[in-house]
Amino acid sequence: MDPHKPKTVVRAGIITISDRASKGLYDDLGGPALRQAAQRHGWQVIAQALAPDEQAEIQRAIRQQVGEGCQLVLTTGGTGVGPRDVTPEAVRAIAVREVPGFGEVMRLESMKITPNAILSRSLAVVVERTLVICLPGKPSGAVQCLDFVADAIPHCVEVLQELPTSC
């Protein structure tokens, strides 16, 4: 990496996907945890939202953050195997391409922590020119999974935004 190249400041958005949190019945813990993690990585969080476990609402929230200039959208929740877990279906329906390595690494590394990681349907896609990463709903799991893939995010954003890259 060129030490003279200015570091890309990633503009990020965060969406917590939860029926209960979106109705105010449950405190959103995942969004604030991801905000702290994103800031720790040097990214600028410019948008944050709550959405219920409904495909159209998830898509609306993602499109809104893309329209607000987010280069990275992190979602937390809805990636399990429960009947209301529809995040992967929602994001795939608006994606221009999937980036499978992110989900693969998140599951592989998470398997070292818990055997239940095999149930995760975490993934990453491109919506327009924005990287969207769907993380688990448990705050600690969301942050751990983000940390597993964080080093690849700035380069991916640079490529998607057609910025000069260091590679």
Say if residue 164's pLDDT is above 80: no
What letter would DSSP give residue 164? -
Number of H helices, E strands in the chain: 7, 6
Give the Cβ contact number of residue 160 at 10 Å: 17
- Mean pLDDT for 39-53 is 97
Sheet containing 11-17, strands listed edge to edge, beginning at the edge strand earlier in sequence: 44-51, 11-17, 72-76, 130-135, 123-127, 97-98
Whole-structure pTM value:
0.94
Say if residue 158's pLDDT is above 80: yes
d(CA 154, CA 100): 17
Q: How high is the pLDDT of residue 5?
A: 54
User: Which residue type occupies 32?
Assistant: P
d(CA 48, CA 114): 29
- Three-class DSSP labels, 95-149: CCEECHHHHHHHHHHHHCCCHHHHHCCCEEEEECCEEEEEECCCHHHHHHHHHHH
Our measurement of the distance from residue 43's CA atom to the centroid of its chain's CA atoms, rounded to an integer in Å, reads 13
Q: Which domains does the chain have, with CATH numbers?
A: 11-160 (3.40.980.10)
The residue among 10 and 24 whose pLDDT is bigger is 10
* DSSP three-state, residue 160: helix
The residues near 150 (Cβ < 8 Å, ≥ 6 apart) are 41
Q: How high is the pLDDT of residue 4?
A: 47
- Mean pLDDT for 103-119 is 97
Q: How high is the pLDDT of residue 1?
A: 46
